Each structure stands twice: as C-alpha cells, then as structure tokens.
Structure 1
Amino acid sequence: MNGGSGLVIVPSMLAADQSRLGEECRALAAAGADRVQWDVMDGRFVPAITVGPDVVAACRRVTDLPFEAHLMVEDPDEAAPHFVRAGCDLVIVHAEACRHLHRTLTGIRSLGARAGVALNPHTPVDTIAHVLDLTDLVLVMTVNPGFGGQEYLPAMEPKIAAVRAVIDRHGAPIELEVDGGITDVTIRRAAAAGAGVFISGSWLSRHPAGRAAAIAELRAAARQSIGARA
C-alpha cells in the first residue's frame, strides 16, 4: 500500500480509541492507511507512558497492515527486540537516547527489521551523517515528543529540507518522515520542504467525515506539494 511518488500516510495509534485497538487497526487499513505508528513512551525519555509489546503483538494478529514503532524511551537497545518480535517492520529510535547510535541501528537490522532515526527539534541534522548506510528512515519531529495534539512547528521546515538534501546526496532509498501537528494544511508545507512520509494523529482521528476521507485529503494535499517540487 503506497500512495505513489514515495508518498506514505501513517496514522498514529496514540490518537486511536485505546479500548479497541485491534478494531482500529482494521479500520485504518480499510481506510487506506499505508501503515500505522505505535508511539512507545516510557515515562522517562518523555513524560507519558503508552503501549508495550504485548499490545502490539495482540493487534498484529488481526491485521496485515505494516507496523512501525517510534521508541520514545531511554533504553532503545533493550526495547527494540521486543517490538520487532511483536511484529513491527520498522523501529525508529531517537538519536538523543542512543549512546552508540551505529550499534543500535545495526542491532535493529540484525533482527530483520528496518531501522529509523528520529531527530528532536533541537537536534542537528549532521547527527545522522555517519549512520546513513544503516538507516532506512529519518524522522524529523515537527513537535517536541511526548504528547498528541501539539501544534506543528514551521521552524522545522528548513531542517526537513536539509535532511532531504543529505538523503539525496547519499543516494540510498531512505524515507523522510515528519511527525507532529500534521493536518491537511501543514502537510503541504512539510511535503514542499521534502518529506514523503507523514504521521497524523489527532487531526486524522477527529475528521468529521471519517478516517478514509481524512487519509484521502492528506494524500491529495501532499501529492500537490510533492508534484510542485519535482
């Protein structure tokens, strides 16, 4: 499932009905989501605490929709194997939480999953310069991590563009993802800056016409901006 031109729409399970996560996964697949993101928070790296691997594994049994785990945790090396075993195809770790980022990414790939690096708003782009050969995705946070419903930070757009340039120079098929405050309006700006993968939580889940309409709107808006920059 892919929207074409490298365009990927990824609903966040943080905004889903937590009492019926399996049904939510099935509904998002039917609505046209390309994959879903599990926001994993430990109460230490970020203040909130969310799902563990057992919840993800239970939902894995009811859908074929690809899963990605965004590990907002202090010890990603300990957490990553559990979420791969639970059925996550992609594991994203925060550069700020990794003592040895190269080793962490190598470890994720050795488990058979794709590896991603997330950069908080303050984290420099050159943090990823020497691990791109081990990186399948770079996530530029367009909010500070830890809570849903935050407002998009337009100041991150030059950073998105800078990461896009780094990826293009590297030449490998590395995805560029954005997460935080993504709506039908802000997705245009993030896509114009160079992003191709878009996490949407609160806006998507609250869309008055439902999830399928929300995903279609996001996809159409992003496609326009991606087409304009091509």
Structure 2
Amino acid sequence: MQRSYLLAPSILSADFARLGDEVQKVSAAGADWIHFDVMDNHYVPNLTVGPLVCQAIRPYTERPIDVHLMVKPVDALIPEFAKAGADIISFHPEASEHIDRTLSLIRDCGCQAGLVFNPATPLVWLEHVLDKVDLVLLMSVNPGFGGQKFIPSTLPKLRQARALLDRYEAETGRHIWLEVDGGVKVDNIAAVAEAGADVFVAGSAVFGAANAHDPNRYDSVIAQFRAELARIDREGA
C-alpha cells in the first residue's frame, strides 16, 4: 500500500541564536512538520525549551508544530503548549499516571495526541487507547540528546507497530501516523520507510548537513530525503 510521507525536522539541532530564521527557512524548503523536543533534566538527562519558545517560533511557520514531551510529570505542561501554538503533543507512557486521561487532556486542549515508545518500551501500552491516539512515535535512539546513531532493533518494532495500526485502520477507517525519531538520515530513511514509518524526524541530518553559509542547504537535504522516499514508492508500485 502506497503511503504519504512527512518530514519533521527537529529544532533540537538548529541554531538557537537564529531559531525563528531556522524554522522559517526549513519550512520554506519543504518541511511538513516542525518537531519540537522538550526535555526536563529529570525524565531525560538534558534540558531544552518550554512553551515560551514554542510561542516565539509559532509566527515563523504555518507548518504543524509537533511537540514531543520528554518530561515527568507531563499533564501540567499540556495546556501551556496548546496555548503556545502546538498542533500535536506526544508523551511517554512512563511519564503519566493515567495514560487515557492524559490523551484525553491533549485532545480537549484542541491538539492531536501522540504516544511515544522508547527503544525498550513495549507496544502493549497501545492496546486499550488506540481510539484516543493520532500518532505513535517510536524512538530509534534513547531520548535525551541529538546526533545519536539509529538503533537497528527499531526496524522490527516498526513492522510490529505498522501491522497493528494497519489492522486498526482497516477496522475503523481512521489513520494513525507512525513516526520515528533518532538517527534518521538520507542513507537509512528508505529502510525506515519500508519498515512502516510515514513520519520522519531528522535533526542533525537536516540542520547540520551542510555549510551554514549555504542558503540552499535545507532545500538540498530535504530533496535528498524526498528522492529516497520516492524511490521506495516506485519500487513498491
């Protein structure tokens, strides 16, 4: 089955001194979503950005802002990010005392809801909440830092998730996005797509791929990603 593919560059690897400009340029180059990584130095060993930064970049793009909350506890931040302009909010099941309630909170705030799975987190958490999930995000690195290498065991897990989501879509007619984050590059995106992903987060592969003085750097690397995905479509046709 031919799928639509979306690219979601992660601002974690952008130049934070020029963040609005970076978001604007990567959007113009063809990014589908802007991926926004939130870390609290508690759930993960790093500290990044909060709702005020999300609010600050909102005027620089019309693309959906895809907020990934790597924080614990999680519920208090959800309304704040919704007010700041987030379109999608995802969280880790380990960070919520009541997963169903947290998913409902995200939707009640007017956003799409996602559930995130670390490399060693089993997909069994999805079993009773698929009706409230709009996106499933599989981490292909351990969360906390950008620039890590893709963990190969993510590929069979992606296939497992893809089969589950395809069965659900066949039964309900509702599509759930399958996103992957961590070490996605031009030379492995085809394998990740073949395993079932349809949304691809790329940080250093986009923002760090070319010379910072090259105004066409984002166009070039996003075109390379698109070419690889188009090849998969041609070969699968």
Please say whether Structure 1 and Structure 2 have the same fold, judged by a TM-score greater than 0.5: yes
Q: Shift of the alpha carbon at 1:7? A: 0.4
Q: Structure 1 residue 211 and structure 2 residue 218: aligned?
A: yes
Partner of 2:69: 71
Q: Shift of the alpha carbon at 1:222? A: 2.3
For structure 2, the 5+ residue unaligned runs are 211-215
1:220 partner amino acid? A
Q: Shift of the alpha carbon at 1:227? A: 4.8
Alpha-carbon distance between aligned partners in 2 of 1:57 and 1:182, rounded to the nearest angstrom: 27
Q: Residue 146 of structure 2: which of 145, 148, 151 is its match? A: 148
2:122 partner amino acid? P
Partner of 2:134: 136
Pairing of 1:190-229 with structure 2 (within 5 A): 190-208=192-210, 210-229=217-236
Q: Shift of the alpha carbon at 1:164? A: 0.3
Q: Residue 97 of structure 2: which of 82, 96, 99 is its match? A: 99
Deviations 1:44-91 (A, max 9, x none): 000110011011101112321211100000111111111111001000
SS at 2:76 equivalent: helix
Deviations 1:191-228 (A, max 9, x none): 01000000000111122261111111112212323554
1:190 partner amino acid? V
1:201 partner amino acid? G
Q: Structure 1 residue 179 and structure 2 residue 181: aligned?
A: yes
The 10-residue stretch of structure 1 (58-67 or 162-171) with the greater mean CA deviation from structure 2: 58-67
SS at 1:24 equivalent: helix
For structure 1, the 5+ residue unaligned runs are none
Q: How many residues align?
A: 227
Q: Residue 157 of structure 2: which of 141, 153, 159 is its match? A: 159
Q: Shift of the alpha carbon at 1:229? A: 4.7
Does the Cα contact within 8 Å between 1:192 and 1:226 map onto a contact in 2?
no
Query: How high is the TM-score relative to the length of structure 2?
Result: 0.92
Q: Shift of the alpha carbon at 1:35? A: 1.1
Matched residues, percent identical? 44
Change (3 A) 1:167 1:202: same
